[in-house]
Amino acid sequence: MEGWIFERMRRIRTEIEKMFEEFEEAMLRPLADMTHGYLTPLYEVRETEREVIVYVDLPGVYRKEDIDVSVSENKLVVEARMARPVCFGEIPFYESCRFERYYLEIRLPTPVIPERASASFKGKVLEIRLPKRITRYRVKVE
Amino acid sequence: MSTSGPKKWEYFELKPLPENLTLIVGIPDVGLVGPIAVTYLIKNLKLELAGYVDSPLLPPVILFHDYQLLTPVRVYGPTDVGEKVAVFFSESAIPPSGLYSLAQFIVTWAASKRVKRLVMVGGVAVPNRMQIEKPKVYVATALEEDRELAKKSGLKLLREGFMGGAYAMLLKECFKRRFPGIALLAESHLHYPDPGAAAAVLEALEPLLGIKVDVAPLLEQEEEIRVKLRELMKRTVESMRGAGKEYEYTIPAMYV
């Protein structure tokens, strides 16, 4: 019995530590990938009772045809091409780098139904609506 | 000059400021509206570096511009004696633990420099910003006389609701010390740099203070600003946790 509890606590602690590591890594990681020459866009995830809604800021992207969105049950990937390459001047970290596209890959907070996802692009913000995969059970109130 | 108590914030003067100035404050917050607006104003009015502010509460960073070392929190003053505007500007996000003492410092310092009024420029996050072509600007004031000034200018006064963050602390400090202070808050994105909202607050300076700013070049640069300020936006969103911003969606108990 005790062994079972300790094992469960160990798993929870490992999960929490992993979340903190991911968060710290995301904070320290630049919003650009020099190796592959892409920028990471800013994004926001909102949840309603039935949907996960992801907003992605894509300044510099002019046409919806330049945006690719792919969704699986737990993951969203957005790729977009900018109309003009962006340079960040003489800042050493960015020097000699030109960026022409965005790439974003995020883990979704809850499973979704990929085939029912929809997307729109307005004011350089991409809105992706993802219906949640919800299994409901009616609970009898005694 | 420093505030009383421990030296949390200090001002280092490079050039004296004339008296009776309007001090426009731009501190990173929702949509980075303040920093975008005041950096544009500094260039537009050709303001000059007048001094800088330092504190152990700031992130341990400096920056370089055109080979010149700069500290993140700076004051810009007029080059022309006729000009009556100065700018207080932070280029780095202020940690929530520093907001209260920074507000105390700014108001004490402004009073010592015989500043006429503080005008804070910033944003108020709205969820439907994407659908808004021209953001509305709300005015929040500390004193009755400022409310009257805002009413005459035809701007919309903030009537009810919580306000959080750096400007809330500044208005509170203005209120406590009976120092004139006005916050201009444009409807803004929360998580993305918002030059459109910055243009809206700059345009509001004309009816309020008679300062006319041509915002067309700022709007032309909108996309470039949005791309280049992504990192600062990320740091700012992180620093907004615990800064009281979440209260802005809360209905005050008194008005239920």
pLDDT band of residue A136 (cuts 50, 70, 90) is: confident
A-B C-beta contacts closer than 8 Å:
47
B61-94 pLDDT, tens digit each: 999 988 999 999 999 999 876 668 999 999 998 9
CA-based nearest residue in chain B for residue A60? B223
- Mark yes or no for CB contact B130/A127 under 8 Å: yes
Share above pLDDT 90 across residues of chain B, in percent, rounded to a whole number: 66
Query: What's the mean pLDDT when you consider all of chain B?
Result: 90
Q: Which residues of A touch B (CB under 8 A)?
A: 27, 30-31, 39-44, 55, 57, 59-60, 86, 88, 122-125, 127
Tokens read off for B225: 């600003």
Q: How many other C-beta atoms are found inside a 10 Å radius of the C-beta of residue B67?
A: 5
| pLDDT (mean) for A20-44 | 78
- CB contacts of B228 in chain A (<8 Å) are 86, 88
Report the alpha-carbon distance of residue A41 to residue B231 in Å, rounded: 10
Q: Which residues of B touch A122 (CB under 8 A)?
A: 130-131
pLDDT at position A23 over 90 = no
Give yes or no for residue B103 having a pLDDT over 80: yes
Q: Is B61 on the interface with A (CB under 8 A)?
A: no
- Has residue A39 got a pLDDT over 80? yes
Q: Which residues pair with B70 in a beta bridge?
A: B63
Cα–Cα distance, B163 to B247 (Å, whole number): 7
**Residues B86, B92, B98, B99: is their CA dihedral positive or negative?**
positive
Distance from CA of A142 to the nearest CA of B (A): 34
The model's pTM: 0.84
Q: Which chain B residues are closer than 8 Å to A31 by Cβ?
A: 230-231, 234
Distance CA B221, CA B228 (A): 11
Residue whose tokens read 């509001």: B204
CB distance from B130 to chain A under 8 Å? yes
Tell me the three state secondary structure of residue A23.
helix
Average pLDDT over residues B28-32: 92
Q: Are A134 and A116 in contact (CB under 8 A)?
A: no
Pick from A27, A30, A42: which is nearest to B191 by CB? A42
SS (H, E, C) chain B: CECCCCCCCEEEECCCCCCCCEEEEECCCHHHHHHHHHHHHHHHCCCEEEEEEECCCCCCCCEEECCEEECCEEEEECCCCCCCEEEEEECCCCCHHHHHHHHHHHHHHHHHCCCCEEEEEEEEECCCHHHCCCCCEEEEECCHHHHHHHHHHCCEECCCCCCCCHHHHHHHHHHHHCCCEEEEEEEECCCCCCHHHHHHHHHHHHHHHCCCCCCHHHHHCHHHHHHHCHHHHHHHHHHHCCCCHHHHHCCCHHHC
pLDDT band at A132 (very low <50, low <70, confident <90, very high): very high
| C-beta atoms of B130 and A30 within 8 A | no
Residue B121, pLDDT > 60, answer yes
Question: What are phi and psi for residue B46, nearest 5 degrees?
Answer: 55, 50
SS3 state of residue A62: coil
pLDDT, residue A20, reads 61
Q: In this predicted structure, what is the pLDDT of residue B91?
A: 92
Q: Say whether residue B231 is in contact with chain A using an 8 A CB cutoff.
A: yes
Residue B19 in contact with residue B2, Cβ under 8 Å? no
Q: What is the ipTM of this complex?
A: 0.74
Q: In terms of Cα–Cα distance, which of B68, B92, B79, B90 is closest to B17?
A: B79
Nearest-10 crossing angle of helices B195-209, B33-44: 60
Structure tokens at A100: 């022409």
Cβ distance of A59 and B233 shorter than 8 Å: no
Q: Which domains does chain B have, with CATH numbers?
A: 10-255 (3.40.50.10900)
Distance of alpha carbon B227 from alpha carbon A136, whole angstroms: 42
> Mean of the pLDDT values across residues A3-32?
71
Look at A42 and B231 and tell me if their CB atoms are within 8 Å: no
Q: Is the pLDDT of residue B159 over 50?
A: yes
Chain A residue closest in CA terms to B190: A44
- Write down the pLDDT at residue B157: 92
Kindly list the residues from chain B whose CB atom is less than 8 angstroms away from the CB atom of residue A57.
189, 191-192, 226, 230
Residue from B227, B228, B233, B234 to probe the interface with A (highest A Cβ count within 10 Å): B227
Q: B178-196 pLDDT, tens per residue?
A: 999 999 999 999 889 999 9
Question: Which residues, listed in sequence order, are joined to residue A76 by a DSSP beta bridge?
Answer: A71, A106
Instruction: Say which residue, A95 or B236, is predicted with more confidence.
Output: B236
* Maximum average pLDDT range among A89-98, B74-83, B213-222: B213-222
Read off the pLDDT of each residue in B143-164 and give the average, rounded to a whole number: 89
Contact across the interface for B238 and A43, Cβ inside 8 Å: no
- The residue count of chain B comes to 256
Query: How much is the pLDDT for B3?
Result: 46
